[in-house]
Amino acid sequence: MTTMKQQIFLLTLLLLSAANGFVTPSATSSTRQHVIMQPIISSSSLKLGSFDEYSQTDPDQDLAYEDTLVGTTDGVAMEGKFVTVAYKGQLMSNKKVFDEGQISFRLGDNKVIKGWDRGLIGMKVGGKRVLKIPPQLAYGDRGAGDVIPGGAHLQFDCELKGIASNAMEEKMAEASSMNPSKVFFYVFVAGSIIYDVLKYQMHVI
């Protein structure tokens, strides 16, 4: 006989599996870059370029950033931390916004462009940072579809919304970043399964 605890467990397992299958837009096969990750400890250990003197014509231009608001919490983004970031991305060449939203991912896992994996290090929760990212740390000469041309320098306005402290918080963060239509689909499927389980239980009692 199926107990209420077992029903809750089945629902939780389904929702966790659904969230685990979520892939952020920057992690698609067409844009993911497989690179050898180097240890990242703090933002002070990075040799970053000058924000004000950033050059779109310099082939050796490095990542640059500027903090517009320093977070006040103890949580600090480091490699291996599961973070949630609100962002707006634009082309530096013409200031055209190509994407904005919120995503959750683990820093250093190659789920986003390298400029993000490096540029978000050292942020505190609640902080805001502007990233200027050269193409070699973004989408390279290939670009990304019709939205980002090859060789594009990108600027991202980022806000660190949170850092998960355990597996459950990670799953909740992933779910909150999902497309609403996907959330509706998974909730509908979970509800249907629970309904069938309860219906079966009523017949066997």
Rounded Cα distance, 19 and 112, in Å: 17
The whole-model pTM stands at: 0.66
pLDDT digits (tens, 9 = 90+) for 138-167: 999 999 999 999 999 999 999 999 999 888
Burial of 165 (0-12, 13-18, 19+ CB in 10 A): exposed
More confident residue, 193 or 125: 125
Distances (CA, A) of 117 to 43, 146, 159, 198: 11, 24, 14, 45
The answer to whether the CB of 64 falls within 8 A of the CB of 138 is: no
Q: What is the pLDDT of residue 27?
A: 37
Q: What is the pLDDT of residue 167?
A: 85
pLDDT digits (tens, 9 = 90+) for 169-200: 778 877 766 555 554 554 555 556 666 666 66
Task: Return the DSSP state at 50.
Answer: P
Q: What is the pLDDT of residue 40?
A: 36
3-class secondary structure, 105: strand
pLDDT digits (tens, 9 = 90+) for 19-64: 443 333 343 333 333 222 333 334 444 457 789 999 999 999 999 9
